[in-house]
Amino acid sequence: MSDWITSGVNAPCSHHDGLSYKDRRRRAWRWSGAAVLATAALSLTALPQSVAARDRGQYAATSPELKSWFDSLRSGKGPCCSDADGSAVSDVDWESSSGHYKVRLDGAWLDVPDEAVITGPNRVGRTMVWPMRGTAGVSIRCFMPGSMT
């Protein structure tokens, strides 16, 4: 029978690399922190896919030149994406006051951020809005005023 005191039972385990309990805990926290960051990064890379362009077929008859123009539209918030992402707005659903715009979406009036306004010529003549719907609600990525008739 061997003596457990001299048998090496109190020696550090080889899989701990001689680290103290405190150092092993720090290493574990570092690894778990890295896992959390990796998960967050993967979640964020999936986010743009939820805002991807959707073609509902409402502009299927658009000419290639007009489609190209729509695809090139940008506001200060970035590209508007395409005509398929935008929606035409009736004259009663938008207004202008003191150089700022408001638009009614889903029954609620929203202020259009100045950086979302497209200032170039409107080749289609009608007012359009490119809303972004997310967990924080609706925001406006692009807004192109038309001519009120």
DSSP 12: P
The per-residue pLDDT for range 27-48, each reduced to its tens digit, is: 655 555 555 555 555 555 544 4
CA 132-136-142 angle, 5° bins: 25
Residue 23 or 71, more confident: 71
Average pLDDT of the residues of the chain: 74
Task: Give yes or no for residue 75 having a pLDDT over 50.
Answer: yes
For the chain, the distance separating the N- and C-terminal CA atoms, rounded to the nearest angstrom, is 102
Task: Give yes or no for residue 107 having a pLDDT over 50.
Answer: yes
- 105, 129 Cβ separation under 8 angstroms: yes
Task: Report the alpha-carbon distance of residue 54 to residue 56 in Å, rounded.
Answer: 6
Please count the other Cβ atoms lying within 10 Å of the Cβ belonging to residue 124.
16
